A and B are shown apart, each in its own frame.
Chain A
Amino acid sequence: MFYRDAGQYKTSYAADMAIFPLRQDRVGIAVILLIAYLGVPLLAGDFAISTVMLPLMALVPAVIGLNILTGYTGLISLGSAGFMGVGAYACYKLTTLFPEVNILVWILCSGFFSAAIGVVFGLPSLRIKGLYLAVATLAAQFFLQWCFVRIPWLYNYNASGAIEVPLRTLFGIPITGPTAEVEVKYLVALTFVVILAWFASNLVHGRIGRSWMAVRDMDIAAELMGIRLLPTKLLAFAVSSFYCGVSGALFVFIYLGGAEAGTEFSIRLSFLILFAVIIGGLGSIIGSFFGAAFIVGLPTVLKFGLPTIGIPITGAVAEKVVLMIIGALTIFLLIVEPHGLARLWQIAKQKLRVWPYPY
């Protein structure tokens, strides 16, 4: 009907390689951006933004990061929450040591610290793969978590042992700390997410992304074709950890506004991020958004949605039910569509393209 590629000719190489070759796709992405930038802050309430949109925006970079590592390069990691923690603590240390530099710079910079740590823990990936690598990354998770608790320098010797996010401003408007408006925080996080997603999308469509995928599909064959394994795998670890680090900084500074690391960046968060990647679809940037939305949205829907339709449920019970449903739904989704929500999205687009004919 309206979603057709008929009559749209590619007349240059650039047009052929465009990420969104269809005009309708380009219009669609513009509309989505418009809604995200104007519609959500204006129409959604503070509560909806702070319980759904902020954690979503904070988690999406981590999910994209893990997708780069697991979905595109084929290396399983269970340490993403640890790398998020590195980002959060790096950002906290940087902004308390150099308060005059804008917080946005430090949020981005904290990603580099996380990337450095990620490269160190990525070194074993050259010799081991698959489940063994998953265990190796668990080492990163538990070691980093221990560091967050046992090294008081990281949280500036606070008596509470937690990060307290200070007030920071951009053009005089507070963007972090207790007085910052929810809408402002959301817009800041959204901008980070848009830039990071755009960057990731370009990365995976280019030479680097192709070499990652070659390594994923068969690393020995990739090596024979002249792809150097060590730099490629380490780059994947670095980029992935960079995304996780930025995500961790956003998670603490924008979403939580303060965190106790031993509890926030635990193994369960790592698992949830991996869930998001797999449910969203391995090797898909748009899938990362779907997966993160699923993981963030489901508990909220259950906790606040069920009472409104008349099913009484207390907070404590809801949490357990949420665990059960996340577990059950994950298994269900894996059975029904192991390629994730991104695959469903693709099928829907394909159907729309040929509609009303079946093919």
Chain B
Amino acid sequence: MTDATLTAKPALSPQQIRRIAWIAGPVLLVIVLTLLTRSGAIGPSDWTYKILVDPFVTMWSLPDLLIQTLWEGFVAGVLYALIALGFVLIFKASGVFNFAQGIMVVFAALSLIGFYEILVGRLGIPAGYAAAMVALIGALGIMLLLAVAVERIVLRPLVNQPDIIMLMATVGLSFFLTGFGELAFGGNPKVMITSALGLPTGSSSIDVPGGRINVQHLDVAAAVIATILIVSLGIFFQKTRIGRALRAVADSHKAALSVGISLNQIWIIVWFTAGIVALVTGIMWGARSEVSFALEVIALKALPVLVLGGFTSIPGAIVGGLIIGIGEKLGEFYWGPLMGGGIETWLAYIIALVFLLFRPQGLFGEKIIERI
């Protein structure tokens, strides 16, 4: 064997070939489609045109609509990311996939409204900022109570059970909270106390190329508050003593126990943090529409977000949320009418499914290594 054969490398490694194929494929598709359309081979009545050409032509010719759709997708994505964040926090620290996160969002929002109504209606405190703040503290108290109860009653006896058992326990928890919430607050949708909390209402128009778009002030506030929440959570995780303990627990329960970190305490903190995230999500989402138990199903959309981002990654939850939110709105607006509309209910899951086939561990998830 000569030196030449030993050192000779193939011209392109498989990864490079794959990367080139990923870039060249869409480019080629665009060129072929353009040629076909220009030559008149496919016209506006062909279904290939309707699916592959028409939406992009619309996007190009009406940029204001595109920007409006992107903005709405962005806001929806931020809210998905917030729900997903609650999942990730609990999954990282306790390895429990918390199906009850969605109902926790509803529960937190409803208890906030409930406290406010009691304060203003029964106790005669003037409606406004002060009452809303007291109600907010009350709702936080409820979430803390919930965290302690969940840790004591559900998590502690079930420690070391297989994943599916823990999963079912949280589904049981969500059934319990749904029943309890409907009993305590009534099943009717409620209006979020947006103005009392000091959240801006109203909207303004912004000039963009091709026209104007309408931006709700509330959506801007939602994006800002979500960003603040995520950044402060990041600082909490990276810089504080408790944050370090949380990351230790996420790495290994046993190792964390052996250096004297109390698992029970950490779990309460984590569930309470998830409760705070749930409360913020509930306020934002409730202010955009209304607070009802239907939110629970919307909260399930956090699952494809997690699949995209990976179950253990906070940046993943955010990026995944944005991809799902924007992809869903674009799909619904440009391709939805072709299929009779309403595809928003499943598009996110299909996006996640297709994604999974190519990258099973998600965008930021750790590479899955299987051993016997």
Does B225 interact with chain A (Cβ within 8 Å)? no
Q: With A221-B372, A324-B176, A331-B169 in contact, is A139–B350 under 8 Å at CB?
A: yes
Q: B residues within 8 A CB of A130?
A: 163
- Bound-state CA distance A244–B356 (Å) is 25
Does A309 interact with chain B (Cβ within 8 Å)? no
Q: B residues within 8 A CB of A328?
A: 172, 176
B residues apposed to A, CB below 8 Å: 97, 153-154, 157-158, 161-165, 167-169, 171-180, 182-183, 187, 297, 300, 303-304, 306-307, 311, 339-343, 345-346, 349-350, 352-353, 356-357, 360, 370, 372
- Which one of A139, A149, A317, A326 lies within 8 Å of B353 (CB-CB)? A139
Closest 9 A-B residue pairs measured CB to CB? Answer: A327-B176, A323-B179, A327-B175, A139-B349, A330-B172, A324-B179, A142-B346, A143-B346, A335-B157
Q: B residues within 8 A CB of A221?
A: 372
Whether the Cβ atoms of B345 and A146 lie closer than 8 Å is yes
Residue contacts A-B, CB under 8 angstroms, 19 given = A76-B167, A124-B356, A131-B311, A138-B303, A142-B346, A143-B350, A145-B345, A146-B345, A274-B168, A275-B168, A275-B172, A320-B187, A324-B176, A326-B172, A326-B179, A327-B176, A331-B172, A334-B172, A335-B158
Whether the Cβ atoms of A331 and B173 lie closer than 8 Å is yes
Interface centre among A138, A150, A330 (most CB of B within 10 A): A138
Q: B residues within 8 A CB of A282?
A: 164
Q: A residues within 8 A CB of B343?
A: 146
- Bound-state CA distance A319–B342 (Å) is 29
A residues apposed to B, CB below 8 Å: 70, 76, 124, 127-128, 130-132, 134-136, 138-139, 142-143, 145-146, 149-150, 218, 220-221, 224, 267, 271, 274-275, 278, 282, 317, 320-331, 334-335, 338
Q: A residues within 8 A CB of B167?
A: 76, 131, 134
Q: Is the interface of B mostly helix, strand, loop or mixed?
A: helix
Least distance between A236 CB and chain B CB atoms (Å): 16
- Bound-state CA distance A146–B348 (Å) is 13
Q: Is the interface of A mostly helix, strand, loop or mixed?
A: helix
Q: How many A-B residue pairs have CB under 8 A?
A: 135
Whether the Cβ atoms of A131 and B350 lie closer than 8 Å is no
- Bound-state CA distance A278–B163 (Å) is 12
Whether the Cβ atoms of B172 and A136 lie closer than 8 Å is no
Whether the Cβ atoms of B303 and A135 lie closer than 8 Å is yes
Whether the Cβ atoms of B157 and A128 lie closer than 8 Å is no
Whether the Cβ atoms of B178 and A323 lie closer than 8 Å is yes
Whether the Cβ atoms of B360 and A128 lie closer than 8 Å is yes
- Bound-state CA distance A11–B151 (Å) is 54
Whether the Cβ atoms of B342 and A146 lie closer than 8 Å is yes
- Bound-state CA distance A76–B340 (Å) is 31
Q: With A145-B345, A321-B183 in contact, is A139–B168 under 8 Å at CB?
A: no
Q: B residues within 8 A CB of A127?
A: 356-357, 360
- Which one of B172, B339, B346, B370 lies within 8 Å of A139 (CB-CB)? B346
Least distance between B127 CB and chain A CB atoms (Å): 29
Whether the Cβ atoms of A323 and B352 lie closer than 8 Å is no
- Bound-state CA distance A197–B329 (Å) is 45
- Bound-state CA distance A218–B311 (Å) is 22
Whether the Cβ atoms of B345 and A331 lie closer than 8 Å is no
Q: B residues within 8 A CB of A334?
A: 158, 161, 165, 168-169, 172
